[in-house]
Amino acid sequence: MDPYKVLTEVVKAQSFTKAAENLYTSQPSISRDIKRFRKKDMI
């Protein structure tokens, strides 16, 4: 999944769980995507 889309949805939803629901995926998947994004882009 596009990491920017995931990050945007997490910020908008203010919750990894709610973002996962909105993106029709699991919360662990969202956490993993954010972790990869942080590692790659150093945020």
- The C-alpha atoms of residue 22 and residue 41 are separated, in whole angstroms, by 24
At residue 38's C-alpha, the angle toward residues 7 and 1, to 5°, is: 45
DSSP per position, 9-35:
HHHHHTSHHHHHHHTTS-HHHHHHHHH
Q: What is the pLDDT of residue 32?
A: 94
Q: How many domains is the chain built from?
A: 1
Reply yes or no on whether the pLDDT at 43 is more than 70.
no
Closest CA to 31 of 23, 43, 20: 20
Q: Which of 2-6, 27-31, 36-40 has the highest mean pLDDT?
A: 27-31
| 5-28 residue pLDDT tens | 999 999 999 999 999 999 999 999
pTM for this prediction: 0.80
The boundaries of the domain holding residue 32 are 3-41
Angle between helices 27-41 and 3-13 (to 10 degrees): 120
Q: Which of 2-6, 9-13, 33-37 has the highest mean pLDDT?
A: 9-13
